[in-house]
Amino acid sequence: MIFTTKAEYGVRLLVELGRQDSGTPVSLKAIAETEGLPLAYLERIVALLKKADLVESTRGAHGGYRLARPAHEIHMDEAVLALEGGIAPMSCFVEEREDGRVLCSHLDEGHTGCATRLLWTRVQGGVLGALAKTTLQELVDFAGPALVSTSTPDPVGAALPLHDAA
Amino acid sequence: MIFTTKAEYGVRLLVELGRQDSGTPVSLKAIAETEGLPLAYLERIVALLKKADLVESTRGAHGGYRLARPAHEIHMDEAVLALEGGIAPMSCFVEEREDGRVLCSHLDEGHTGCATRLLWTRVQGGVLGALAKTTLQELVDFAGPALVSTSTPDPVGAALPLHDAA
DNA sequence: AGCTATTCCGACGCTTTGGGTAGGATTAGG
DNA sequence: CCTAATCCTACCCAAAGCGTCGGAATAGCT
The answer to whether the CB of A130 falls within 8 A of the CB of B126 is yes
CA–C1' gap, B15 and C10, in angstroms: 28
Q: What is the DSSP letter of A4?
A: -
Higher pLDDT, A135 or B148: A135
List, for chain A, all residue ranges whose pLDDT scores fall below the cut of 50: 96-103, 105-113, 149-166
The answer to whether the CB of B120 falls within 8 A of the CB of A160 is no
Residue of B nearest to A141 (CA): B115
Which ranges of B36-165 would DSSP assign to H, the alpha helix? 39-51, 76-84, 117-132, 136-143
Phi, psi of A64 (to 5 degrees): 150, -160
The pLDDT of residue B143 is 82
8 Å CB contact of B160 and A114? yes
The pLDDT of residue B138 is 95
CA–C1' gap, A41 and C21, in angstroms: 9
Does domain B1-74+135-166 fall under CATH 3.30.1330.40? My reply is: no
Residue nearest to nucleotide C27 (CA to C1'): A60
A chain contacts of residue B8, beta-carbon cutoff 8 Å: 90, 92, 105, 116
* Chain C bases closer than 7 angstroms to a protein Cβ: 4-11, 18-23, 26-30
The pLDDT of residue A153 is 40
8 Å CB contact of B122 and A110? no
C-alpha neighbours within 13 Å on the C-beta side of residue B16: 29
**Strand A55-58, strand B55-58: pairing:** unpaired
Residue nearest to nucleotide D9 (CA to C1'): A44
8 Å CB contact of A116 and B35? no
Phi, psi of B26 (to 5 degrees): -110, 135
The pLDDT of residue B101 is 42
Mutate to test the interface with A, among B9, B17, B105, B147 (most CBs of A within 10 A): B105
> Closest Cα to residue A127, out of B75, B114, B2?
B2
Please list the residues that pair with A75 across neighbouring strands.
A135
> Closest Cα to residue B105, out of A162, A17, A96, A20?
A162
Every domain of chain A and the residues it spans: 1-74+135-166, 86-134
**Residue B147 pLDDT class (50, 70, 90 cuts):** low
Q: What is the pLDDT of residues B93-136, one digit of tens each?
A: 655 443 334 445 444 444 444 678 899 999 999 999 999 999 99
B chain contacts of residue A77, beta-carbon cutoff 8 Å: none
The answer to whether the CB of B73 falls within 8 A of the CB of B66 is no
* Chain D bases closer than 7 angstroms to a protein Cβ: 3-10, 17-22, 25-29
Q: What is the pLDDT of residues B67-99, one digit of tens each?
A: 999 999 999 999 999 999 888 777 666 554 433
